[in-house]
């Protein structure tokens, strides 16, 4: 397994919470995608419109080179059925040729919409990457999800992808 990067965009904080837990379990490098213009807390209607129309989302320069990594865990939330513009901007800039990409998704709905997944897969493949799988966590827009609500499922998913050993799951079940 090559060097792996966790990169994510988080507005409210839920995707950041999942990203930090992945980093805690794997030790992989963690980097945030940051917008040049900070979004105001609670401005959900504007964020939903930005996601729907794909407007805004210019990002600050990243402090790493994609060439250093073979595998990417990309954290994204769903805004009105779409990826946030900052994530789309990151994908447009990223050199993903030959890289495997796993998505971890935060969402308010019970399921991940297939058009959302199809759109991200298409964009990643256009940049030369391959989507190898995805994991999702149901969240609320105005509350940060406690790690305890998703840790067990996340650990099982990470183990199934080969990122952590199954022993990690047993340790969590029998502390």
**pLDDT score of 149:** 95
As beta bridge partners, residue 111 has: none
Structural domain harbouring 22:
4-173
pLDDT in tens, 122-175: 999 999 999 999 999 999 877 899 999 999 999 999 999 999 985 444 455 545
Please tell me the number of Cα atoms within 13 Å of 47 on its side-chain side.
20
**Any idea what the CATH number is for the domain that residue 54 is in?**
3.40.50.360
How many domains does the chain contain in total?
1
pLDDT in tens, 59-69: 788 888 999 99
Categorize the per-residue pLDDT at 12 as very low, low, confident or very high, splitting at 50, 70 and 90: confident
pLDDT in tens, 30-44: 999 998 877 666 554
Q: Give every CB contact of residue 17 below 8 A, 6+ residues apart in sequence.
A: 10, 144, 145, 147
Evaluate if pTM is beyond 0.75: yes
């Amino acid at each position: 397994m090559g060097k792996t990067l966790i990169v994510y965009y988080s507005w409210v904080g839920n995707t950041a919470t999942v990203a930090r837990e992945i980093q805690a379990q794997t030790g992989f490098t963690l980097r945030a995608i940051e917008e040049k213009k900070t979004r105001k807390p609670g401005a959900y209607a504007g964020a939903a419109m930005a996601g729907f129309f794909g407007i805004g989302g210019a990002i600050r320069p990243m402090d790493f080179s994609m060439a250093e990594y073979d595998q990417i865990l990309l954290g994204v939330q769903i805004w009105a059925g779409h990826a946030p513009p900052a994530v789309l901007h990151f994908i447009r800039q990223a050199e993903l040729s030959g890289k495997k990409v796993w998505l971890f998704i935060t969402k308010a709905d019970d399921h991940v919409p297939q058009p959302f997944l199809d759109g991200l897969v298409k964009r990643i493949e256009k940049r030369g990457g391959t989507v190898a799988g995805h994991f999702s966590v149901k969240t609320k827009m105005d509350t940060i999800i406690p790690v305890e609500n998703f840790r067990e499922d996340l650990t099982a998913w990470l183990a199934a992808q080969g990122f952590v050993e199954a022993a990690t799951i047993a340790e969590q079940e029998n502390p």
